[in-house]
């Protein structure tokens, strides 16, 4: 009889422990350890989720809010990007400088393309090689028909000041004396991201182009060329002000 009581007590104790263990297990997706989660899930901050960081996700995916999401425009190299795009930081995007393009090609309006030339000898006798493109040489025409003024902008804006409209009005008068075209080369100071400054310099070039169009210059003669902060040399406000400009260059 005593033996049976001991067996009964032992069985009761085991059943109590099992019941207590089962009752204490948290409800999914709550968890205490990875064992409380589904296969290939992790217990992070007491919650089951697909990943702890991007290392738990496969190639081309990143961990965001505990889930593995597809990375937009992911790439290993430029061969996985659309034609003319570049692969930077495992992302396909438009080029921002000639140096991002393969050898023998140039960045034109965000797209890498084959350069027309590498030196002046690659162009016709009356042309020069300018940033990979054959353009009419000022040497064969006796120099620019008249001087063109640079246009300057305030910090982080593309709107024209009174001084800017005066300079552009003078440029319009100059352009009406010839049929030659110009590049409107937009610039920005070095503050801000490369992407933002490229877009800002493009807006500045477009503002100058719009003014000249309203002044009677054919839009086909005006080509905006954004350069962002690629040519910036300023180190303080006085010199940064000179970086924020649009240059008009004869083609």
Predicted confidence (pLDDT) per residue in 161-188, tens digit = 999 999 999 999 999 988 899 999 999 9
The CATH topology of domain 145-250 is 60s Ribosomal Protein L30; Chain: A; (3.30.1330)
Number of helices and strands (H, E) in the chain? 4, 14
CA dihedral (86, 90, 92, 94) positive or negative: negative
Q: How far, in Å, are 73, 136, 186, 202 from residue 218 at the CA level?
A: 38, 18, 19, 19
Task: Find where tokens 């009419």 sit.
Answer: 136
pLDDT at 11: 58
Tokens coding 215: 């002044």
Q: What is the DSSP letter of 63?
A: E
Tokens coding 151: 């246009």
Q: Is 121 exposed, middle or buried (0-12, 13-18, 19+ CB in 10 A)?
A: exposed
- Whether 182 and 172 have beta carbons less than 8 Å apart is answered as no
CATH 3.30.1330.60 segments of the chain: 145-250
pLDDT at 7: 57
Helix locations, the chain, DSSP H:
2-24, 162-175, 194-214, 237-243
Tokens coding 77: 């190299």
pLDDT tens per residue across span 186-215: 999 999 999 999 999 999 999 999 999 999
This prediction has a pTM of 0.47
Cα separation of the two ends of the chain:
112
Tokens coding 146: 């008249």
Task: Find where tokens 């060329």 sit.
Answer: 225
Residue 173 and residue 115: Cα distance in Å, rounded? 33
Q: What is the DSSP letter of 71?
A: P
Low-confidence ranges of the chain (pLDDT < 50): 139-140
- Whether 119 and 129 have beta carbons less than 8 Å apart is answered as yes
pLDDT at 235: 92
Residue 186 and residue 150: Cα distance in Å, rounded? 10
Cis amide linkage into residue 91, ω under 30° from 0: no
Centre a 10 Å sphere on the Cβ of residue 218 and count the other Cβ atoms it contains. Answer: 11
Task: Find where tokens 């303080």 sit.
Answer: 236
CA dihedral (83, 88, 89, 91) positive or negative: negative
């Amino acid at each position: 009889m005593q033996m049976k009581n001991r067996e009964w007590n032992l069985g009761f104790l085991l059943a109590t422990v099992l019941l207590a263990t089962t009752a204490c297990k948290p409800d999914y997706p709550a968890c205490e350890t990875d064992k409380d989660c589904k296969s290939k899930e992790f217990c992070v901050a007491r919650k089951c989720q697909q990943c702890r960081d991007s290392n738990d996700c496969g190639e081309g995916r990143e961990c965001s809010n505990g889930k593995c999401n597809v990375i937009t425009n992911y790439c290993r190299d430029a061969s996985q990007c659309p034609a003319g795009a570049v692969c930077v930081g495992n992302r396909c995007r438009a080029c921002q400088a000639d140096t991002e393009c393969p050898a023998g090609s140039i960045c034109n309006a965000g797209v890498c393309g084959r350069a027309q030339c590498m030196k002046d000898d690659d162009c016709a006798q009356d042309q020069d090689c300018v940033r990979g493109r054959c353009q009419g040489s000022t040497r064969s025409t006796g120099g620019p028909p008249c001087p063109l003024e640079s246009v300057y902008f305030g910090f982080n804006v593309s709107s024209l000041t009174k001084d800017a409209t005066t300079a552009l009005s003078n440029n319009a008068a100059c352009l009406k004396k010839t049929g030659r075209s110009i590049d409107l080369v937009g610039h920005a100071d070095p503050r801000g991201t490369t992407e933002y400054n490229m877009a800002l310099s493009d807006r500045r070039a477009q503002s100058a182009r719009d003014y000249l169009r309203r002044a009677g210059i054919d839009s086909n003669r005006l080509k905006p060329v954004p350069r962002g902060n690629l040519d910036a040399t300023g180190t303080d406000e006085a010199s940064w002000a000179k970086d924020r400009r649009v240059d008009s260059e004869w083609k």
